[in-house]
Amino acid sequence: FALTKFRDGAWMVIILTPLLVWAFFRVHHHYKSVATGLSLEGEQRVIGPRPIHTIVLIDNLHASSIRAINFALSLGNPWTAVHISIDPDRTADLQRKWAQRMGDVPLVVLPSPYRSLTQPLQAYIQQLRVEYPLAYIHLILGSLTTASYWQQVLHRNSTIVFRIALRQIEGIAITSVPYQLYETSRLEEQPATATKGLPDGNSTAP
């Protein structure tokens, strides 16, 4: 049948059937590997709290970044503001506004000479993992939410990029704090004093 009907369509069966069988076996093998990796059989997992190092990624100082900072303060854990510098002029402008608005709260600037958003942050987080191997790294990202999908496309959706770039790093959690541009009644961003949530322990939130 394969020889006589090859030109009439039998080639599809000859090629697709082994491919489908191979794909099914690969999917089955993947699920078995996942089940083995998640199994607690023979494992001695310690259940309890661990230290958390919170990073708030700052692109610019505006309403969205203030909401992300206030969210970090609300968690009550020490946090560090990090800026990835791909434009020296823009970084200098941010540092000026940061000093005016945030006072003595430190701002860590990661140079990126090749204009990469992910590589400097990856290196920074990997260094934290070396210094604090048992700690969780909590990355907080501010994001803009628009009224329609086509408007959302017009804005840089870097949250997805960071999630993909950092997915292989163990012990990291990523939180996206949305800022809804289309809301007529927005969440009030009130100044809050939470000294234990600031890097230097004695500063005041914006």
pLDDT digits (tens, 9 = 90+) for 3-33: 666 666 677 777 888 899 999 999 999 999 9
* 30 to 106, 135, 196: CA distances (angstroms): 45, 29, 44
Q: Tell me the C-alpha distance between 183 and 168, whole Å.
A: 35
pLDDT digits (tens, 9 = 90+) for 50-105: 999 999 999 999 888 999 999 999 999 899 999 999 999 999 999 999 999 998 89
| Residue 205 binned pLDDT confidence (cut-offs 50, 70, 90) | very low
Mean pLDDT, the chain, rounded, equals: 83
